[in-house]
């Protein structure tokens, strides 16, 4: 078994779970936030810096690595861990989401998806078998089934056909998977915002007995309360003895809401993406460090943070770097933002252990400036 989930404790007042995910590259304490390293790098950060933030696992994108440098080159290098010098766990997505979000010219058939390379315009074809071939070559600890992620909103008939195709594709992914001994293949539950379709998708995929399950098709433009409602009826359909992963979600409130509903794993480009335009998440709320307010602010980015950035640099200095497009500036904000979410998840894990997650949520929301 490539991955084993161990449930340690369930919060007394919510559905939150404290667990451990054992993988070939180490054990992950859950719930966990996974920073995104699309092109085999979490933008601007070295693996050493990532480790200093406490990152336990990162996500990398199959679609991007397939196009550049090519999965064959990564395989020749000894796999993704070696290629990028990251010896902790890695998860790769299947490329499905990118095919649907980055490419405007696409044709979906039972066989797979024909689309144009978003860089060169060249015609490409991705199928369940091809996605798994690439993921097997990359060698991540956790790999995702090739699915279709329908847009929001989508009509019910389309959602139904799409989720049924996703089930058939999931079967083909499983059949094509050549490294079951050291890579865990997760299934992705689809069905849009429809309760019955989510149930159908979950039931069909559970029959295939994947070692873990993701909720896909959320955070695609729907309002937050709808996303939470979908989690309310979807998470209880997922097995309790397997990890549950909510794809593409990573704002602090979404992480709290997801954990409360029983999600164990999250990934999002948010902390690094907003860092690059000088926006930081801090214990006192969002700080847009490029604002003129901070020109003479010689205090740390976050007064309650002990990351490398906050220990050594001021808001005024970081603002200056970002204003001048100095790469060191976005490296400093990236380090802080990743550290912030990872520290927050550590606090969440501790709170679950002590049955005080709702109290933590309340105090976090108050200081961050969210309304409860």
Q: What is the rounded CA–CA span in Å between residue 73 and residue 63?
A: 14
Of 231 and 341, which CB lies nearer to Zn ion in the complex structure?
A: 341
Report yes or no: 30 and 265 within 8 Å, Cβ to Cβ: yes
332 binds Zn ion (CB under 5 A): no
Q: Is 305 in the site for Zn ion (CB under 5 A)?
A: yes
What would the x/- binding string for Zn ion be over residues 2 to 41, using CB under 5 A? Answer: ----------------------------------------
- Of 34-42, 50-58, 80-88, 305-313: span binding Zn ion (CB under 5 A): 305-313
Cβ of residue 310: shortest distance to Zn ion, in angstroms? 3
Nearest-angstrom CA–CA distance, 214 and 91: 12
Contact status, residue 182 vs residue 2, Cβ threshold 8 Å? yes
Question: In terms of CB distance, is 265 or 281 closer to Zn ion?
Answer: 281
Assess contact for 299 and 265: CB atoms under 8 A: no
Task: Note whether 338 binds Zn ion by CB under 5 A.
Answer: no
Residue 143: C-alpha distances to residues 138, 258, 297, 299, 351 (Å): 10, 21, 44, 42, 29
**Three state DSSP letters for 235-261:** HHHCCCCCCEEECCCCCHHHHHHHHHC
Query: Quick one: which of 18, 27, 15, 34 has its CA closest to 341?
Result: 34
User: What's the min distance (Å) between Cβ of 321 and Zn ion?
Assistant: 15
Binding segment (CB under 5 A) for Zn ion, from list 41-49, 90-98, 244-252, 306-314:
306-314
* 52 counts as catalytic: no
| Closest CB 299 distance from Zn ion, rounded Å | 12
Instruction: Tell me which of 176, 265, 307, 351 binds Zn ion, using CB under 5 A.
Output: 307
Residue that is written with structure tokens 């649907």 in the block: 100
Asked if 310 contacts 300 with a C-beta cutoff of 8 angstroms, the reply is: yes
SS3 369: coil
Quickly tell me which residue has 């490329």 as its tokens.
95
Task: Name residue 268's beta-bridge partners.
Answer: 35
Q: Is residue 302 annotated as part of the catalytic site, yes or no? A: no
Selected catalytic residue, list 11, 141, 264, 267: 267
- Quick one: which of 319, 336, 349, 361 contacts Zn ion (CB under 5 A)? 336
Q: Is 97 annotated for ligand binding?
A: yes
Query: Going along 77-163, which residue ranges are E strands?
Result: 90-92, 106-108, 113-116, 123-126, 142-144
12/286 with CB nearer Zn ion: 286
Give whichever of 26 and 303 is closer to Zn ion, judged by the CB atom: 303
Size of the site for Zn ion (CB under 5 A): 6
Using CB under 5 A as the binding rule, whether residue 310 contacts Zn ion is answered as yes
Residue 90 near residue 140 (C-beta atoms within 8 A): yes
Q: Which one from 11, 93, 264, 302 is the annotated catalytic residue?
A: 93
Q: Which are the contacts of 46, defined by CB distance < 8 A and separation ≥ 6?
A: none
Residue 149 marked ligand-binding? no
Which residues are marked as active site?
Answer: 93, 267
**Which residues are annotated as part of the binding site for Zn(2+)?**
305, 307, 310, 336
Query: Which residues here bind Zn ion, judged by CB under 5 A?
Result: 302, 305, 307, 309-310, 336
Binding positions for substrate = 93-97, 147, 190, 217
Q: What residues are designated binding site? A: 93-97, 147, 190, 217, 305, 307, 310, 336
């Amino acid at each position: 078994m490539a991955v084993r989930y161990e449930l340690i404790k369930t919060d007394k007042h919510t559905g939150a779970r404290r667990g451990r995910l054992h993988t070939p590259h180490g054990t992950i304490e859950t719930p966990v936030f996974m920073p995104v390293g699309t092109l085999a790098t979490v933008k601007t950060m070295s693996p050493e810096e990532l480790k200093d933030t406490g990152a336990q696992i990162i996500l990398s994108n199959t679609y991007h690595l397939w196009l550049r440098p090519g999965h064959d080159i990564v395989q020749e290098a000894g796999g993704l861990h070696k290629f990028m010098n990251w010896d902790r766990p890695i998860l790769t997505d299947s490329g499905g989401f990118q095919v649907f979000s980055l490419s405007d010219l696409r044709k979906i058939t039972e066989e797979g998806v024909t689309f144009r390379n978003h860089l060169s315009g060249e015609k490409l074809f991705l199928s369940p078998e091809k996605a798994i071939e690439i993921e097997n070559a990359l060698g991540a600890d956790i790999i995702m089934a090739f699915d279709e992620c329908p847009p929001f909103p989508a009509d019910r008939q389309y959602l139904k056909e799409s989720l049924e195709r996703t089930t058939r594709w999931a079967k083909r992914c499983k059949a094509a998977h050549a490294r079951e001994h050291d890579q865990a293949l997760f299934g992705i539950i689809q069905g849009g915002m429809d309760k019955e379709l989510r149930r159908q998708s979950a039931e069909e995929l559970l029959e295939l007995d994947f070692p873990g399950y993701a909720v896909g098709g959320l955070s695609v433009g729907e309002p937050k309360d709808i996303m939470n409602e979908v989690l309310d009826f979807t998470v209880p359909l997922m097995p309790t003895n397997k990890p549950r992963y909510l794809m593409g979600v990573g704002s602090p409130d979404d992480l709290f809401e997801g954990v409360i509903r029983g999600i164990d794993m999250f990934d999002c480009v948010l902390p690094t993406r907003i860092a690059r335009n000088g926006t930081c998440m801090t214990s006192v709320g969002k700080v847009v460090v490029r604002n003129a307010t901070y020109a003479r602010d010689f205090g740390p980015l976050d007064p309650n943070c002990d990351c490398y950035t906050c220990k050594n640099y001021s808001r005024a200095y970081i603002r200056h770097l970002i204003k001048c497009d100095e790469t060191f500036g976005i490296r400093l904000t990236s380090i802080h933002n990743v550290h912030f979410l990872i520290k927050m998840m550590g606090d969440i894990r501790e709170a679950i252990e002590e049955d005080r997650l709702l109290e933590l949520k309340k105090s976090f929301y108050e200081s961050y400036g969210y309304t409860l």
